[in-house]
Structure 1
Amino acid sequence: MEHSEAERVGALHALGVLDTPREERYDRVVRLAQQIFGVGAAAVNLVDADRQWTKAEVGLPGLVNTPRRDSFCARTVEHPGALVVPDAAADDRFRANPFVRGDPPVRFYAGHPLRAPGGERIGSLCLTDPVPRELTAREQAILAELAGLVEHELAAQHEIDHAGQVQRMLMPRTAPSVPGWDLAARWAPARELGGDFYDWWVQDGRLQLHVADVMGKGLPAALLAASVRAVLHGSARYNDQRAAVDRAGAALESILEDTGTFVTAFAARVDLGTGVLDYVDAGHGLAVVCDPTGAHRRLCSSGLPLGALPGSTWEPRTERLAPGETLLVISDGLLDYFPDVPAALARAGRAVADSAGCEELVERVLRFALERGLDDDVTVLALRRAG
């Protein structure tokens, strides 16, 4: 099935790969192509509406953007099969091309179309050499197989990006309206997907809060996080804090054991009238209550992380948020920037003192991490009682 130029360009843009940094998974393919065919250069080129953008190359240092009118690969995407040009200097289509007249010149070119998941031809895996040559049918088949590797990576990235969008949609979009209270949270995964999450809702005059961190990063952690979030949410709807976490832990025990992972979790239920906080800290250990000066007290642990030891139960704890105090819960991704936990919590306390509201506070904490680069997922949740 042929696609229009608008569909082709739209499919390229939907992949979200244009103008992204180099990646080893693509660099590996072009290095392999250069070695297999013994050519001067190989590249993964994507053809936009008015330019060719190079995602990966070997033997073409500095090649990033090329006007589409000068692109060999722009010709490749016009046809379903490979484009082989044995001698560009003898080919009327290319003899005036600046690459053919360059130093070193491009005399030989072979490109195999790269297709988006929908079949649109969006670019080419190409070979070039300064010496004219032919490409046998067997060599063309090998080039097609290498192009298939690139297509697989492009499709996988597209699926991961889509999964990331779904995961972001599962996070609460807005804080519930709770008069007399200020609530905000932010989440940033180290990769496209993450194992952290937060959750909140109001039920029977109480605010339920969850912050959890699945061991690991990326897609495996994200898949587990979705299950953990659903189980915790459902359990907390119909049980007190002790029973909610105990039952969630029991329900998740087999899957966490089978995957060899665990989950740290902070689950709290806040009485919006009195400020009484009933909570369970399952190995999380990174929740503090701060006064307006930044002085803080760290909340006690209730036991091990979910999945750490079969048959575990968790002891509920009680705290009270006085007027003006802030509950701040972070994930352990923020610990990477400090020598120890007390130093991280002290810095968090200063952020509380320096922030006029919870929205400013969580933005301040997250920006601190983003500016230093994320090695792990980072989540921050803040709840402040007016006073």
Structure 2
Amino acid sequence: MTQQIASNDEAVARLGLMDSPPEERFDRITRLARERFQVDFAVMNVVNSETVFTKSQPSTSNFRHTPIEDSFCGEAVKQPAVLEVPDGRADPRFADRAIVAEHGIRFYAGYPIHTEAGETVGTLCLLDSSPRELTESDREAFEQLGLWAQAEMRMDDPADDPDAAAPGDPAANERDPAAATARADQLAGGEVRLASLAIPYGRVSGDRSSWQQVGDRIIVTLADVMGKGELAGGFAEELIAALQDRAHLEPVEAMLSVEEFARHEPRYRETFATLFHAVIDPRSGRVAYVDAGHGLTLLLRPDGSTERLSSRNLPLGLRPADAAWEAGETTVASGDLIVSVSDGALDAYDCTLESLRLIGEDLRRAREAEAFFDQLAIRVSEHVIDDDVTAVVVSVR
């Protein structure tokens, strides 16, 4: 088995994630995992034959490199499915390992992350200082989070994208300026203004945004489908259309209906989407929304305060059968701004959740969506970003 792990060193090197800085696209997975399972640590690791590098972790921890022989992950990467250790102190395989004997970790669950070719390159892990066991529903939810983590890590694998430029190649960030699109509309009697920017990475974008007015209600959606190319783009387009067709429903009801549609569509069983879907009533100021693993939406108040519109929902397509959709609600008034972006926009800053705060500050300074979009487009041109970049701004007059 050691030879099998060693053979994956090339795959780990190919991903380019070893010793790389934190990224929000991974951190939101571990953040949701920690909240969902109420454990001390939820981490995402890159694993080669010698070391476990912690790519994502809580801000309160400082894992970096762990020798593979001192970790649980050295065993997890040998497994075809989740490795669960209810009590490491009572398990002879781990009782003497540093993670247990020195750091006091008792419970561990690890999901092995594989490339499309089957190479094991990482783990998503839960760790706690108290013994415990996963229930059947816990295990299902953890496996869904593991699939999300695996999909994100595969996005870095050039072996899955034969047309991708190598890192450092100037062509890696070449985009067709004509492909970038911007749109703005004044709705609800001039009380609400909406604007969007879309800068696709390739010919077909997996990001989509839309809005429409139905009576006095305004429906706004931003969806980011995992993957690139025709499948992701087609799913994104159909997803947006399906939500538009359900504009008369409250956001959670719309999501349940679209989820039922996607669940029975064979083409979509191997993909999923993060999204923000909101219904705004300009007369009352009520904003009802559902966030599906997106977490990249801010409400900016004129007094300088900021509210992040997020939830603990998993992406559409990954929700366990026994998990309910969590609804969100807030209110807006004159002078408020809502900005929602795809995670590609974060790469134009530092890739972490701090980028979202900086995006909010840039929008405040720009005052108008168009000026903000100009600045964001410049940032995109100055950074190597191998993802679609989409942003939607709602201005309440």
TM-score by length of 2: 0.51
The secondary structure found in structure 2 opposite 1:309 is coil
Question: Aligned pair 1:348/2:359, yes or no?
Answer: yes
Per-residue CA distance 1:163-217 (angstroms, 9 max, x = gap): xx9xx89x99552433122221111111111100001011121111000000011
Whether the aligned pair in 2 keeps the contact of 1:253 and 1:306 (CA below 8 Å) is no
More helix by share: 1
Aligned to 1:362: 373
Aligned to 2:192: 181
Q: Which has the higher contact order (CA 8 A, sep 6+)?
A: 2
Aligned to 2:315: 305
Per-residue CA distance 1:79-131 (angstroms, 9 max, x = gap): xxxxxxxxxxxxxxxxxxxxxxxxxxxxxxxxxxxxxxxxxxxxxxxxxxxxx
Q: 2:259 is matched with which residue: 246, 249, 254?
A: 249
Following superposition, the deviation at residue 367 of structure 1 comes to 3.1
Aligned to 1:321: 332
Aligned to 1:101: none
Q: CA RMSD in A?
A: 2.8
Aligned to 1:281: 291
Query: Is the alpha carbon distance of 1:227 and 1:246 closer, same or farther for their aligned partners in structure 2, counting shifts above 3 Å?
Result: same
Per-residue CA distance 1:108-159 (angstroms, 9 max, x = gap): xxxxxxxxxxxxxxxxxxxxxxxxxxxxxxxxxxxxxxxxxxxxx9xxxxxx
Count residues with an aligned counterpart.
220
Q: 1:290 is matched with which residue: 300, 308, 327?
A: 300
Aligned to 1:269: 279
Query: Is the alpha carbon distance of 1:174 and 1:335 closer, same or farther for their aligned partners in structure 2, counting shifts above 3 Å?
Result: closer
> What amino acid sits opposite 1:307 in the alignment?
G
Following superposition, the deviation at residue 338 of structure 1 comes to 4.1
Aligned to 1:76: none
Query: Is the alpha carbon distance of 1:256 and 1:211 closer, same or farther for their aligned partners in structure 2, counting shifts above 3 Å?
Result: farther
User: Within 2, Cα distance between the matches of 1:282 and 1:248?
Assistant: 12
Q: Structure 2 matches for 1:162-177, cutoff 5 A?
A: 174-177=184-187
User: Within 1, Cα distance between the matches of 2:264 and 2:347?
Assistant: 30
Whether the aligned pair in 2 keeps the contact of 1:176 and 1:202 (CA below 8 Å) is no
* Bigger Rg, which one: 1
Q: Structure 2 matches for 1:22-33, cutoff 5 A?
A: none
Question: Aligned pair 1:207/2:218, yes or no?
Answer: yes
TM-score by length of 1: 0.52
The secondary structure found in structure 2 opposite 1:238 is coil
Whether the aligned pair in 2 keeps the contact of 1:362 and 1:382 (CA below 8 Å) is no
Query: Is the alpha carbon distance of 1:292 and 1:362 closer, same or farther for their aligned partners in structure 2, counting shifts above 3 Å?
Result: farther
User: Within 2, Cα distance between the matches of 1:325 and 1:352?
Assistant: 12
Q: 1:336 is matched with which residue: 347, 372, 379?
A: 347
Following superposition, the deviation at residue 275 of structure 1 comes to 1.8
Following superposition, the deviation at residue 313 of structure 1 comes to 4.0
User: Within 2, Cα distance between the matches of 1:354 and 1:256?
Assistant: 46
Whether the aligned pair in 2 keeps the contact of 1:294 and 1:352 (CA below 8 Å) is no
Aligned to 1:216: 227
